[in-house]
């Protein structure tokens, strides 16, 4: 994905190129998709994409639509359906078919983990069906400035909130700015199930929304916070892949993240350029088992460098 760093770093409101980019609608779609998962929505073969439904607890299911779609968590019960995230818009009919196979209840709530299109572009169709969309306040603010705004959340929170739904206490909280500055983590206390969105959880290199308020240190802090709320039995649903990861995998991601951060920061302090740091392959001893995601090691190092370099200034 050699072009990605340039494209993503160009997408900064206030940047002199931003106005120009806003006009170039087609290109903007590409950039918006890259901002989340480095996969271009226009390149996804939606017709060929199937939804896989995995039951993970009574009344709780994960809908997976391949690595490029954000995983949806479904709670279904006597109160109705609650969804966490909505995938890309063209997935809507397939999502509805998958839901029909597990529930005949109406969709009451949709909680977004963060603003990226692979998690929210399906909001519009869900809102039309009556879903009340919930997010962190920062997510809604950022989404409202986008040129192609999906249906905006109607309920926002700042610190945390709890939904009492289908016999569950669903605790929604906002970690330190991590993948973006509007992330939500959704924890079903009774079932001990957590959807963590795109904070580091899968064994792949995570994306950092460096232009959406995300930060390396926030990703590390959030992974630690997840580990204080979760326990060894918690079923942790990542934003992609999965359907479930464990405590141990988050620990492994923390070790990797902390080591790479320190290496890149030391290199920045030693005056190394981005090209030099990427060429030095600071992730090499962690690459095994982490090569199946959309974020390549070079891309990951670029994100870490980009974030740390501007903070070091």
Return residues touching Zn ion (CB under 5 A).
36, 116, 198
CB atoms within 10 A of CB 82: 28
Closer residue to Zn ion (CB): 166 or 222: 222
Q: How far is the CB of 54 from Zn ion (least distance, A)?
A: 21
Of residues 181 and 198, the one with the C-beta less far from Zn ion: 198
CB atoms within 10 A of CB 46: 17
Helix, strand, or coil here: 82? strand
Q: How far is the CB of 66 from Zn ion (least distance, A)?
A: 15
Question: Which is nearer to Zn ion, 114 or 290 (by Cβ)?
Answer: 114
Judged by beta carbon, residue 74 or residue 210, the one nearer Zn ion is 210
Question: Distances from the Cα of 220 to the Cαs of 27, 161, 178, 227, 283, in angstroms?
Answer: 32, 23, 8, 11, 16
Reading the block at residue 201, the tokens are: 């959880």
The strand ranges marked E within 89-176 are 107-111, 132-136, 155-157, 160-165, 168-173
Contacts of 12 (CB under 8 A, 6+ apart): 18, 211
Q: State in angstroms the smallest separation of the CB of 207 from Zn ion.
A: 6
- With respect to Zn ion, which residue has the nearer C-beta, 35 or 170? 35
Q: Are 49 and 118 in contact (CB under 8 A)?
A: no
Provide, rounded to whole angstroms, the least separation between the CB of residue 313 and Zn ion. 26
Matching residue, tokens 């509007």: 182
Q: How far is the CB of 140 from Zn ion (least distance, A)?
A: 16
E strands in the chain: 52-57, 60-64, 72-77, 80-84, 107-111, 132-136, 155-157, 160-165, 168-173, 185-188, 193-195, 235-237
Do residues 100 and 124 make contact, with C-beta atoms less than 8 angstroms apart? no
Comparison of 92 and 179: residue with beta carbon closer to Zn ion: 179
Minimum CB distance to Zn ion, residue 291 (Å)? 19
Contact in structure between 186 and 195 (CB atoms under 8 Å): yes
Output the smallest distance, CB 231 to Zn ion, in A: 26
Burial class of residue 116, CB neighbours in 10 A (0-12, 13-18, 19+):
buried
CA distance 76 to 61: 8
For Zn ion, the closer CB: 8 or 151: 8
Q: How far is the CB of 21 from Zn ion (least distance, A)?
A: 19
Q: Which is nearer to Zn ion, 165 or 300 (CB)?
A: 300
Q: Which residues contact 255 (CB under 8 A, 6 or more apart)?
A: none
């Amino acid at each position: 994905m050699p072009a990605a760093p340039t494209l993503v770093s160009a997408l900064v409101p206030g940047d002199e190129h931003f106005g120009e980019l806003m006009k170039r609608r087609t290109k903007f779609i590409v950039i918006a998709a890259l901002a989340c998962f480095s996969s271009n929505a226009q390149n996804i073969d939606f017709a060929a994409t199937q939804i896989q439904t995995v039951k993970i607890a009574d009344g709780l299911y994960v809908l997976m639509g391949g690595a490029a779609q954000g995983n949806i968590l479904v709670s279904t019960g006597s109160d109705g359906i609650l969804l966490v995230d909505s995938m890309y818009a063209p997935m809507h009919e397939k999502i509805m078919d998958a839901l029909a196979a597990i529930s005949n209840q109406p969709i009451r709530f949709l909680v977004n983990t963060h603003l990226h299109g692979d998690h929210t572009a399906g909001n519009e169709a869900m809102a039309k069906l009556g879903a009340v969309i919930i997010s962190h306040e920062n997510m809604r603010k950022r989404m409202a400035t986008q040129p192609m705004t999906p249906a905006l959340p109607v309920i926002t929170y700042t610190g945390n909130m709890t939904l009492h739904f289908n016999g569950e206490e669903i605790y929604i909280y906002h970690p330190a700015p991590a993948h973006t500055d509007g992330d939500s983590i959704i924890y079903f206390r009774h079932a001990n199930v957590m959807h963590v969105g795109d904070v580091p959880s899968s064994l792949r290199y995570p994306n950092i929304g460096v232009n959406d308020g995300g930060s390396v240190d926030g990703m590390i802090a959030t992974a630690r916070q997840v580990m204080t709320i979760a326990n060894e039995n918690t079923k942790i649903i990542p934003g992609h892949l999965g359907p479930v990861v464990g405590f141990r995998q988050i620990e492994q991601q923390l070790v990797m993240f902390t080591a790479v951060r320190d290496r890149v920061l030391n290199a920045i302090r030693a005056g190394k350029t981005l090209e030099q740091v990427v060429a030095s392959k600071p992730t090499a001893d962690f690459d095994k088992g982490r090569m199946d995601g959309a974020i390549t090691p070079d891309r990951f190092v670029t994100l870490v460098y980009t974030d740390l370099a501007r903070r070091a200034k």
